[in-house]
Amino acid sequence: MQLGLCLPQLGPTAEGGKVADVARRAEEVGYDSLWVGDRLLTPETPQDLYPVGGTEEVPYPPEFTAALDPIVTLTAAAAVTSRVRLSFSTLIPTWHNALLLARSLTSLDAISEGRLELGLGTSWMRDEYEVAGVPWGERGARLDEMLDVFEKLWNDSRVEHSGRFWEIPPSSVDLRPAQVGGPPVLLGGFTQAAMTRVGSRGAGWIAIAGAPEEFEESLWQMACDAAESAGRDPGALRRETRVNTYAGMSVAETADQVREAERRGADGVHIDFAYIAGSADELLEQAEELIALLR
């Protein structure tokens, strides 16, 4: 099983000057991948609560009030590493223009010499959509069309697209990702529509540790069924699990969650220490302790 680490990006760990050091050291001690998330703002009077434990009194983790840009953060990591995969858990592409985002991601894959993976999702916070000027109800349709645009840009030198959200006139586009056909696309989500998208279009699914096993398995089966219906091999789908830490959680307890995800069939697990680390240096200490316990 592959083991990944979320870079210092949130809350008190969001020390931009430390990102490269943490990335370099994580690769040295044996991590297989480095991950970043995507947060745009933390409203004081939110329309939606954090789906993993949010309450009216504490709607979001306090770490959400500081978040480094995900693409910039991964680019810093790419520049000082040579082996680890670079991933999003998850990037919210629907806030962006499809062509501009494709250029950034294609450039990052080229700069990292083909180490990029796209973990994509549609978020759960409608406030962020309103600030980005994107209708909340269009998020699924926008993601589907964006995947269409990516596929064209990554496979053809002559590109043309006419869709509901984006128009690209006949154009020559010779910028290519290092990975033929583009970076693999992992998708997050917990609905029938999301899991159908995983099976029919994605390279795999990003789950979150802590869900009841029966529920997780039912979602995974939806993806496998969708893959079969689309004429794809369900066995080729990758299963990735995100482990979020929480206040008071020990590194040993984190290791137990990693082992549980492996027992459930995860091909990879990535851990976010931002919720218990007080700095980027402390995050790195915990990451080193964890990999020593596991390996």
Structural domain boundaries, residue 32: 2-294
Residue showing tokens 């480095």: 34
**Band of pLDDT at residue 2, cut at 50, 70 and 90:** very high
State the Cα–Cα distance between residues 34 and 5, nearest whole angstrom: 5
Work out the angle at residue 271's Cα, subtended by the Cα atoms of residues 2 and 109, and round it to the nearest 5 degrees: 60
HSE-CB of 230 using CA atoms within 13 angstroms: 18
Q: Does residue 177 contact residue 112 with C-beta atoms inside 8 Å? A: no
pLDDT at 97: 97
CA distances from 46 to 54, 56, 60, 138, 292 (A): 11, 9, 9, 20, 40
Q: What is the pLDDT of residues 192-206, one digit of tens each?
A: 999 999 999 999 999
Beta bridge partners of 127: none
Whether 237 contacts 186, CB under 8 Å: no
Does residue 121 surpass a pLDDT of 90? yes
pLDDT at 27: 98
Looking at the predicted structure, is the pLDDT value of residue 3 above 90?
yes
Structure token pair of residue 162: 């006419």
Q: What is the pLDDT of residues 222-264, one digit of tens each?
A: 999 999 999 999 999 999 999 999 999 999 999 999 999 999 9
Q: What angle do CA 81, 112, 17 make, to 5 degrees?
A: 50
Tokens of 35: 């991950």
Can you read off the two tokens belonging to residue 211?
Answer: 């869900």
Q: What is the spatial distance between Cα 272 and Cα 209, in angstroms, rounded to a whole number? A: 11
- Say what angle helices 280-294 and 251-263 make with each other, to 10 degrees: 50
Digit-coded pLDDT (tens) for 55-103:
999 999 999 999 999 999 999 999 999 999 999 999 999 999 999 999 9
d(CA 9, CA 73): 8
What's the confidence (pLDDT) of residue 295? 86
In the structure encoding, which two tokens stand for residue 255, read together? 């290791």
> In total, how many domains does the chain have?
1
What's the pTM? 0.97
CATH number for the domain that contains residue 267: 3.20.20.30
The residue that leads in pLDDT, 182 or 53, is: 182
> Could you tell me if 69 and 76 are in contact, meaning their C-beta atoms sit under 8 angstroms apart?
no
Bridge pairing between strands 158-162 and 167-172: antiparallel
Q: Determine the Cα–Cα distance for residues 262 and 89; give it in Å rounded to an integer.
A: 18
